[in-house]
């Protein structure tokens, strides 16, 4: 034992002090101190210091790529699609979710051939229950509303939308299209689907309560204990927790793109614009506006929906009643149910489970304060083939759309995201200084949108970007938290939950790229990218 303990010291005598310290550095776990908020002996919150172990880069890269998926499809109409998705948790478990689906038009459809492609990301808060449910039902709900619009635009659905959606788990309705070429009607149908699904989330617990009460309960105004009801938590949790949702719908038959947003997730497109000098550049098109209290139009909307005496506090410090950041969301019943309804459902379903609802916000007076109604944006899909002036590295004229929860936009600007995806498409590899990327991948801003977050994202030209990941979504996540700065990447991603939430959010990213002129390659191939070890 003594001889083994002596080896490091002997080494330092033989070959110098640096070897000894190198031995110490690589043989001992690397740590750093992190300020964290804890409950003190008095019961009040106070700051303390916690020692965090710096995790190996390989382990963190495996996390970035763990849920990374890539899929490429070339459809009979000659449009080639590639989409990637990746996610990284900060909360444990992650509160984000995502979904995608391709629905082929029926052969009898006069607009055939063509597809509807759906891509969605959900940003949960206050738990994962709402976002996970939406990942299963949102696309089906929108597809059903579109199918109803097409088959009988004036008929009211005979069943609740949630029941109709549940009946289609594992299947999708046939979308056949005469009216679906009308962007106004399609946008309206998408919006109606969002609102109806949220209404079902909020009303289902009330229906179960009403169906469970007998005449004696009504007579004595007694609230039954339904905490052991088989659906008690199943229906209450998605209503109490909340989720933003961002959905893109591509109608390839009519070359239409619809983007619907409820909350502060964001959709940004990159559009290659050739130029006469042969250089060209990427246009940055922001297709959504962050729906928070820091968005002036959202603040004005909410103030207009409530009495004048609430005008000064309905939005406080950019948050609804000083609490919730997104002004639109699914669930979040604390901001929608009247106070009496909250108290009643809490007593019926939650108290017996030892999971009481949080009290209503102190300034709560005239609900609802939050809506799930989305803002729907329509764009024509530009699919003209590229010109000879485009650089060979980009091939045909390409377009891409990035859908991401706010965990990405907290770290990267719109321009940075477009540059990083465009650079990936151009085949850049290795480490690129941040101040050099604009010269390699020039961009200019088209539609800017409104940044509804407290701090402006991105803009720091120090450091470097890393072009290392095959998956474009994982590539964006890596660069959001350090990129080519390995030390920064390791520090940020080594912080465990729940402390990590002060430094980064859950993040989910979907990137969709498309180009036309590939009729001869009409086939489908898929590939799941496994974590790199």
Does residue 22 carry a pLDDT above 70? no
Q: How confident is the model at residue 165 (pLDDT cuts 50, 70, 90)?
A: low
pLDDT one-digit tens code per residue, 351-371: 999 999 999 999 999 999 999
Does residue 176 carry a pLDDT above 70? no
Instruction: Confirm if 263 and 328 have CB atoms less than 8 A apart.
Output: yes
pLDDT one-digit tens code per residue, 247-262: 999 998 888 999 999 9
Does residue 170 carry a pLDDT above 80? no
Please name which of 514, 281, 276 lies closest in space to residue 385, comparing C-alpha atoms.
514
Does residue 127 carry a pLDDT above 80? yes
Q: Can you read off the two tokens belonging to residue 17?
A: 């002090």
| Cα 174 to Cα 151: distance, rounded to the nearest angstrom | 10
pLDDT one-digit tens code per residue, 217-238: 888 889 999 999 999 999 999 9
pLDDT one-digit tens code per residue, 132-163: 999 999 999 999 998 887 655 554 444 455 55
pLDDT value at position 315? 97
Instruction: Confirm if 511 and 52 have CB atoms less than 8 A apart.
Output: no
The highest-confidence range among 10-24, 27-41, 164-178, by mean pLDDT, is: 27-41
Does residue 464 carry a pLDDT above 70? yes
Does residue 383 carry a pLDDT above 80? no
Does residue 335 carry a pLDDT above 70? yes
pLDDT value at position 166? 55
Could you give the domains of the chain?
2-53 (no CATH), 57-383+393-528 (3.60.40.10)
Q: How confident is the model at residue 434 (pLDDT cuts 50, 70, 90)?
A: very high
Three-class secondary structure assignment of 261-329: EECCCEEEEEEEECCCCCCCEEEEEECCCCCECCCHHHHHHHHHCCCHHHCCCCEECCEECCCECECEC
- Looking at every residue in the chain, the average pLDDT score rounds to 84
Between these two residues, 313 and 1, which has the higher pLDDT value? Answer: 313
Q: How confident is the model at residue 202 (pLDDT cuts 50, 70, 90)?
A: very high
pLDDT value at position 518? 54
pLDDT value at position 421? 97
Q: How confident is the model at residue 451 (pLDDT cuts 50, 70, 90)?
A: confident
Range with the lowest mean pLDDT among 123-132, 297-306, 521-530? 521-530
Q: How confident is the model at residue 243 (pLDDT cuts 50, 70, 90)?
A: very high
pLDDT value at position 172? 61
The highest-confidence range among 78-82, 371-375, 515-519, by mean pLDDT, is: 371-375
Say what percent of the chain tops pLDDT 70. 80
Q: Measured in whole angstroms, how far is the alpha carbon of residue 23 from the centre of its chain?
A: 44
Does residue 457 carry a pLDDT above 90? no
- In terms of Cβ atoms closer than 10 Å to its own Cβ (0-12, 13-18, 19+), residue 441 is buried
């Amino acid at each position: 034992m003594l001889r083994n303990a002596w080896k490091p010291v002997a080494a330092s005598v033989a070959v110098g002090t640096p070897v000894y310290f190198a031995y110490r550095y690589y043989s001992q776990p690397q740590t750093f101190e992190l300020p964290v908020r804890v409950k003190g002996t008095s019961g009040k919150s106070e700051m303390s210091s916690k020692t965090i172990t710096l995790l190996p880069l390989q382990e963190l890269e495996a996390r970035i790529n763990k849920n990374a998926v890539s899929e490429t499809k070339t459809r009979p109409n000659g449009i080639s699609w590639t989409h990637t998705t990746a996610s990284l948790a900060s909360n444990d478990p992650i509160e984000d979710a995502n979904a995608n689906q391709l629905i082929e038009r029926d052969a009898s459809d006069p607009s055939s051939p063509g597809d509807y492609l759906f891509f969605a990301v959900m940003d949960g808060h206050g738990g994962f229950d709402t976002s996970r449910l939406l990942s299963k039902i949102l696309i089906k709900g929108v597809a059903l509303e579109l199918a109803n619009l097409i088959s009988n635009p004036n008929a009211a659905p005979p069943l609740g939308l949630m029941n109709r959606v549940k009946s289609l788990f594992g299947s999708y309705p046939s979308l056949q299209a005469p009216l679906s070429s009308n962007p106004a009607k399609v946008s309206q149908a998408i919006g109606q689907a969002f609102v109806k699904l949220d209404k079902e989330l909020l009303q289902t617990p009330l229906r179960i309560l009403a169906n469970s009460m007998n005449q004696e309960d009504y007579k004595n105004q007694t609230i039954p204990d339904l905490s052991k009801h088989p659906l008690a938590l199943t229906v209450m949790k998605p209503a109490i927790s909340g989720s933003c949702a961002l959905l893109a719908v591509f109608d390839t038959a009519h070359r239409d793109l619809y983007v619907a947003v409820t909350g502060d997730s964001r959709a940004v497109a990159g559009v290659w614009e050739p130029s006469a000098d042969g250089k060209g550049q990427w246009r940055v098109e922001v297709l959504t506006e962050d729906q928070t209290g820091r968005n002036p139009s959202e603040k004005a909307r909410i103030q207009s929906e409530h009495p004048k005496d609430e005008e000064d506090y309905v939005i406080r410090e950019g948050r609804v009643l000083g609490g919730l950041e997104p002004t639109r969301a699914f669930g979040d019943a604390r901001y929608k149910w009247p106070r009496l309804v909250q108290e009643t459902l809490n007593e019926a379903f939650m108290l017996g489970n030892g999971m009481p609802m949080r009290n209503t916000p102190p300034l709560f007076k005239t609900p609802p304060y939050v809506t799930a109604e989305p803002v729907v944006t329509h764009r024509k899909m530009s699919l003209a083939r590229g010109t000879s002036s485009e650089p060979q590295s980009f091939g045909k004229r390409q377009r891409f759309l990035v859908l991401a929860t706010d965990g990405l936009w907290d770290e990267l600007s719109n321009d940075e995201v477009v540059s990083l995806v465009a650079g990936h498409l151009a085949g850049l590899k290795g480490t690129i200084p941040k101040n050099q990327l604009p010269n390699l991948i020039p961009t200019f801003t088209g539609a800017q949108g409104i940044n509804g977050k407290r701090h402006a994202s991105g803009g720091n030209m120090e450091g470097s970007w890393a072009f290392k990941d095959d998956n474009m979504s994982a590539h964006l996540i890596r660069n959001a938290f350090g990129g080519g700065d390995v030390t920064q990447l390791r520090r940020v991603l080594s912080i465990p939950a729940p402390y990590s939430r002060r430094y980064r959010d859950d993040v989910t990213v979907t990137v969709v790229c498309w180009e036309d002129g590939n009729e001869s390659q009409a086939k489908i191939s898929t590939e799941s990218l496994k974590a790199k070890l």
